Amino acid sequence: MDAAGPDLLVRRAPSALMNPSLKAERLEREQRLDPSRFAREYEAEFAEDLEALPGAWVDAAIVLGRHGLPPRPGVRY
């Protein structure tokens, strides 16, 4: 299961720990609005109940040999 090798480091932590500038009020509101999404987006919980995209969709979105795109003029990132 270690396909990336022993030098790969993965950090899994809640958003409040990774970004202390997040306000508690915002996090509470987000949790009230959608507890499932909150767990995924802010608590670093993996979603077991979501269906994966069909492989054909993923394959169609891949451009072989492309590693990045330059910024587009007029687009705010």
Per-domain residue ranges of the chain: 15-61
Is the pTM here over 0.85, yes or no?
A: no
Beta carbons of 44 and 14 less than 8 angstroms apart = yes
pLDDT by residue (tens digit) across 31-73? 999 998 999 999 999 877 666 778 888 899 999 999 999 999 9
Beta carbons of 40 and 14 less than 8 angstroms apart = no
Helix 24-33, helix 35-42: angle, nearest 10: 130
Backbone angles phi, psi at 65, to 5 degrees: 85, -10
39 contacts: CB under 8 Å, gap ≥ 6: 45, 47
